[in-house]
Chains A and B, each alone.
Chain A
């Protein structure tokens, strides 16, 4: 069997041909072995699985500051995904630790609470799982199980306060309309620590890049938990329950967990045990979008290496480029950023005066001091792939 890595290493020409054969020429290496297929309302994306639908954004579509709604990645765990009618949709807020349970229509949600907009990266916990060595089971994403968008909605905090949060509240449990084919399959339900749910930046979003949320990204409303991985950004919201005890559903107790103490990031104390703990914050990371491994650049012509860097919300302080396998680093120029949860652009001029290979490494550092590592931290589910990206370009 030919794996993607072999294809990438073996044949830049085949990649080029594959890209040229596409309707629009994505340079993403993943397009070499997975077809680009369009879900209704989406442009062709890298199909990982048909059902439940898991579709990855090609690299070329990650170049804009905000990832377009029709190229934004799609990720589901369960295959029953109803088209929610926004006119009859209701969001139920309740739970044992809610003082005044309530129900909201979309109009009420829009009308009764202060509207906010926030730019934030939405990144799957398993983004780049397909690049893990040793390999990890699960959806074999490469770089595109992520995107950056301007999310519009209301603060979850304001809605929870309307319901009244009792002093004994521990977690906020969130469910969406998507469900399983069989009654015995655990529904996709997630919880947040109550302080993260009450954070001013945690939103109930009904807009994405100024448009209503697309169906495949959670219409009519989804959670936005900026800085935390996308597993918490529950789509097609139906209920939000304030509870005095730790939620014990499969998707908290068994899935989306990492070895305790292995990674930096916020702790989710009520869900932690000695062995494992829930994944929480996105780790500092970066992605070159201007070039892919194996690209040729013309000798003597100006060329910039460019891409994005992001973290769990501290904000990016530096991005550095190395041309000598990580011995010397020089800073790239950073762009403006609409928020510390958004990705931030970087750019560095390449020396194209001499023919030959350019071995490029890129590393980002956050304002909290965390820096991309050289080595992966192994973990069974293949989460938190954020090692320094390397690529070889050829000046000719």
Chain B
């Protein structure tokens, strides 16, 4: 209960954002592969996942790693280390 209360603002923010997808955004489809769900769930809190497709020709594994760290360390994305690893693996493998 305490944990729920503690994280309630963050949950609320996630809930709010998930209702605020941009029109047309639902048409963006990432490669179906292990890890896609966590990428969509986590990354879509702040931005549409066409960012992934747009940067695919630019970023290698090290580039994706830098990008994921930027989201966590500088943009305050509440992503566990475990999820960060899954996100990185998905991006590096599929894009």
Name A residues whose Cβ lies closer than 8 Å to a Cβ of B: 1, 3, 37, 47-53, 79-80, 135-140, 180-186, 250, 254
Contact = CB atoms under 8 A, between A and B. Distances in A.
B22 A53 contact: yes
Contacts of A250: 74
Majority SS at the chain A contact face: loop
A186 B75 contact: yes
Contacts, number: 78
Contacts of A254: 74
B34 interface: no
Nearest to B56: A1
Contact of B57 (A3, A37, A51): A3
Interface in B13-56: 13, 16-17, 20-25, 28, 45-48, 50-51, 54-56
B13 to A, nearest CB: 6
B39 to A, nearest CB: 15
A182 B45 CA distance: 8
Nearest to B72: A184
B76 A51 contact: no
B54 A180 contact: no
Contacts of A51: 21-22, 25, 47-48
22 contacts: A49-B47, A49-B48, A50-B24, A50-B25, A79-B17, A79-B20, A80-B20, A137-B59, A137-B67, A140-B55, A180-B46, A181-B13, A181-B16, A181-B45, A182-B75, A182-B77, A182-B78, A183-B13, A184-B77, A185-B75, A250-B74, A254-B74
Contact of B75 (A53, A135, A184): A184
A269 B23 CA distance: 42
A75 to B, nearest CB: 14
A139 B58 CA distance: 11
B25 A135 contact: no
A127 to B, nearest CB: 15
Nearest to A3: B57
Nearest to A52: B47
A185 B46 contact: yes
A50 B57 contact: no
A183 B13 CA distance: 9
Nearest to B17: A181
Contacts of A1: 56-57
